């Protein structure tokens, strides 16, 4: 029996996806875990791996957009089965989605200035590039044929576009537009990832009953513990980050107050056994003016130690910033950390919007040294402003306060969460 290849759901709000490229051709031999096609959603792009080995039969062609879980192809277990699929056996093959193709825009080469070096020879044949690299090239007006790919089989990756951009000669910018006494500097279309973020924020603000707690936590002992752990970085294999400590404290609090580890879906509050913490990761923009945000998920934090949590944070952050997150690495979150710690001391606190359909988001900020009263004496302590946001539809103030109380205790007395 052939194994169906389905359009994966790579984000909670995702309803459909577009096949941006097949990395193999019809009938090619496929190895298990081999990248076989790329998809793109409004939020990001992914390369999907094969879950079985066999022979590839393509159903949805490049450019086709289909709902999540629709079949885009098959992996046949034998060449005989492949032939049957290609013959269109009705019990196996759904109606293909028509290929969407865009006509290439005509371009005119600009004359080379006198004395300029001869251009490098263009790549010929089929050019392989990741979806992110393609978008960056299109945004910059870069011809992929001019870019040297350093990925497998010469595949062009993000790093190759950045290298090509750095080596390219400067081009005179067009005169800025004038309007009502203002000079236009840049325009950022509210599409793609920026558009998806805008829609998610609007949805959260419109549909969720946000309620906030603002506090200040004495994390002097936590910072001292972290310094001791950082001194053991060679032995531990990583420099334990504050985000790892925040996640450990959140998991301890969520375990103590299960209603905090929940989602509100279709009129029901679903409490989850696994504490999967989403982590907001800011992405570098393709220009000086745009940016992005993704929320990869560290799974089963309740059963992990600080070293495991930290290593997973570092792996996911690197994958997010290089566009290599796996499809399921942004799914299944039950609570979210949106840390602004380290931004700058002047950022006291802010109100984060909930990552719908979750019911709590935690936003710690940068600690500053302040005089406080401890045991009747004025001392200097490291104080961290923090805000928590809850969905009041799902929970009331008492459990919300208990969650904050446990989180507070973990950071004022970190041995509490390590016991």
Domain ranges in the chain with CATH number 2.40.50.100: 3-86
Rounded CA gap, 297 and 320, in Å?
11
- DSSP character for 88? T
Report pLDDT for 103. 34
Residue among 153, 144, 98 nearest 124 (CA): 144
- What is the pTM assigned to this prediction? 0.63
**Which of 110-114, 154-158, 320-324 is predicted with the least confidence, judged by mean pLDDT?**
110-114
Q: Does residue 108 surpass a pLDDT of 80?
A: no
Residues 6+ apart with CB under 8 A from 259: 269, 271, 359, 394, 395, 399
Report pLDDT for 176. 65
Q: Does residue 89 surpass a pLDDT of 70?
A: no
Residues 6+ apart with CB under 8 A from 413: 221
212-264 pLDDT, tens digit per residue, is: 989 999 999 999 999 999 999 999 999 999 999 999 999 999 999 999 999 99
Q: How many CA atoms lie within 13 A of 334 on its CB side?
A: 23
Residues 6+ apart with CB under 8 A from 365: 339, 340, 341, 343, 347, 348, 349, 350, 384, 385, 386
Q: Does residue 105 surpass a pLDDT of 60?
A: no
Domain ranges in the chain with CATH number 3.30.559.10: 209-418
What tokens appear for 54 in the block? 């066999």
Positive or negative, the CA dihedral 137, 143, 147, 153 is positive
The class of domain 131-167 in CATH terms is few secondary structures
What tokens appear for 45 in the block? 């792009």
Rounded CA gap, 407 and 384, in Å?
13
Q: In CATH, what is the architecture of 209-418?
A: 2-Layer Sandwich (3.30)
pLDDT band, residue 28 (cuts 50/70/90): very high
% the chain with pLDDT above 90: 44
* Cis peptide leading into residue 357 (ω within 30°): yes
Q: Where are the alpha helices (DSSP H) in 88-182?
A: 131-140, 158-167
139-194 pLDDT, tens digit per residue, is: 677 888 888 888 766 778 777 888 888 777 655 556 666 677 787 777 777 666 66
Rounded CA gap, 275 and 336, in Å?
10
What tokens appear for 414 in the block? 């970190």
Q: Does residue 407 surpass a pLDDT of 90?
A: yes
Residue among 351, 8, 332, 303 nearest 316 (CA): 332
| Helices and strands (DSSP H and E) totals, the chain | 10, 21
CATH of 3-86, one of 1.10.357.10, 2.40.50.100, 3.40.50.970, 3.30.70.20: 2.40.50.100
% the chain with pLDDT above 70: 80
Positive or negative, the CA dihedral 311, 314, 317, 318 is negative
More reliable by pLDDT, 272 or 185: 272
280-318 pLDDT, tens digit per residue, is: 988 776 556 666 788 999 999 999 999 999 999 999 999
Domain ranges in the chain with CATH number 4.10.320.10: 131-167
Arithmetic mean of pLDDT, 59-86: 90
- DSSP character for 156? B
More reliable by pLDDT, 91 or 287: 287
Cα Rg, the chain, nearest whole Å: 25
Arithmetic mean of pLDDT, 107-124: 48
What tokens appear for 302 in the block? 């309740």
Mean residue pLDDT across the chain: 82
Report pLDDT for 238. 96
pLDDT band, residue 21 (cuts 50/70/90): confident
Report pLDDT for 104. 38
Arithmetic mean of pLDDT, 69-74: 92
Q: Does residue 112 surpass a pLDDT of 80?
A: no
Arithmetic mean of pLDDT, 340-364: 83
Arithmetic mean of pLDDT, 113-130: 59
Question: Pseudo-torsion of CA 42, 47, 53, 58, nearest 10°?
Answer: 50
Rounded CA gap, 403 and 315, in Å?
28
| 277-279 and 335-337 strand pairing | parallel
Rounded CA gap, 43 and 323, in Å?
11
Report pLDDT for 20. 83
Report pLDDT for 214. 92
367-404 pLDDT, tens digit per residue, is: 999 999 999 999 999 999 999 999 999 999 999 999 99
Report pLDDT for 114. 45
| Residue reference for tokens 């998991």 | 251
């Amino acid at each position: 029996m052939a194994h169906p290849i389905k359009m994966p759901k790579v984000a909670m709000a995702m309803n459909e996806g577009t096949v941006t490229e097949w990395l193999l051709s019809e009938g090619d031999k496929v190895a298990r875990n081999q990248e076989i096609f790329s998809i793109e959603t409004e939020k990001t792009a992914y390369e999907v791996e094969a879950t079985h080995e066999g022979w590839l039969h393509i159903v949805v062609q490049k450019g086709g957009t289909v709902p999540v879980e629709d079949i885009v192809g098959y992996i046949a277990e034998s060449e005989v089965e492949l032939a049957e699929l290609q013959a269109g056996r009705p019990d196996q093959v759904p109606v293909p989605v028509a290929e969407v193709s865009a006509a290439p825009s005509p371009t005119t080469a600009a004359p080379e200035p006198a004395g300029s070096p001869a251009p490098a020879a263009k790549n010929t044949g089929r050019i392989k590039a990741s979806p992110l690299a393609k978008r960056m090239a299109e945004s910059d007006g870069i011809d992929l044929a001019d870019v040297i790919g350093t990925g497998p089989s010469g595949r062009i990756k993000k790093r190759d576009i950045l290298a090509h951009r750095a080596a390219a000669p400067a081009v005179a910018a067009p005169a800025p537009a004038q309007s009502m006494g203002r000079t236009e500097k840049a325009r950022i279309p509210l599409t793609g990832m920026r558009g998806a973020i805008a829609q998610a924020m609007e949805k959260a603000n419109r549909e969720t009953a946000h309620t906030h707690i603002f506090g200040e936590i004495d994390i002097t002992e936590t910072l001292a513990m972290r310094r001791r752990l950082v001194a053991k970085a060679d032995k531990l294999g990583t420099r334990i980050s504050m985000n790892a400590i925040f996640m450990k404290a959140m998991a301890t609090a969520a375990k103590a107050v299960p209603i905090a580890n929940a989602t509100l879906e279709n009129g029901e509050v679903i409490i989850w056994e696994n504490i999967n913490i989403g982590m907001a990761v800011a992405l570098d923009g393709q220009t000086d003016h745009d940016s992005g945000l993704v929320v990869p998920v560290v799974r089963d934090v309740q059963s992990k130690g600080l070293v495991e949590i930290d290593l997973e944070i570092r792996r996911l952050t690197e994958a997010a910033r290089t566009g290599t997150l796996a499809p399921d690495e942004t799914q299944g979150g039950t609570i979210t950390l949106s840390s602004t710690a380290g931004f700058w001391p002047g950022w006291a606190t802010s109100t984060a919007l909930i990552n719908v359909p979750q019911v709590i988001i935690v936003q710690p900020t940068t600690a500053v040294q302040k005089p406080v009263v401890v045991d009747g004496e004025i001392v200097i302590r490291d104080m961290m402003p923090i805000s928590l946001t809850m969905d009041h539809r799902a929970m009331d103030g008492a459990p919300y306060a208990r969650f904050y109380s446990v989180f507070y205790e973990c950071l004022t007395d970190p041995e509490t969460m390590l016991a």
